[in-house]
């Protein structure tokens, strides 16, 4: 999973007013490359008809505590 967070980086139309959080599925860390990631066991290939599921929980909050865990219901456990 790649996570992008851009804060007021775009000019022109939005005039540095936008904030974007992007979650993008990825099969491998981009710096390894697919061949190396497959060799090292960091990436996998799905055969025809196979599927794979992920569950992502995004829970905005404010505070100064470090987060230990967020469960699938979105409940936050702080350290």
Better pLDDT: 13 or 37: 37
pLDDT, residue 30, reads 66
pTM here is: 0.39
Residue 52 has pLDDT above 70, yes or no: yes
If you average pLDDT over every residue of the chain, what do you get?
79
Cα end-to-end span (Å), the chain: 24
Determine the average pLDDT of the residues in 37-47.
Answer: 83
8, 17 contact by CB (below 8 A): yes
Residue-level pLDDT at 49: 95
Question: Which band of pLDDT confidence, cut at 50, 70 and 90, is reported for residue 48?
Answer: very high
């Amino acid at each position: 999973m790649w996570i992008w967070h851009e804060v007021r980086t775009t000019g022109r139309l939005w005039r540095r007013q936008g904030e974007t959080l992007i979650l993008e599925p990825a099969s491998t860390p981009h710096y390894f490359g697919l061949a190396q990631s497959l060799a090292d066991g960091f990436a996998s290939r799905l055969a025809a008809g196979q599927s794979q599921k992920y569950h992502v929980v995004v829970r905005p909050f404010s505070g100064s505590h470090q987060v230990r865990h967020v469960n699938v219901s979105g409940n936050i456990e702080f350290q």
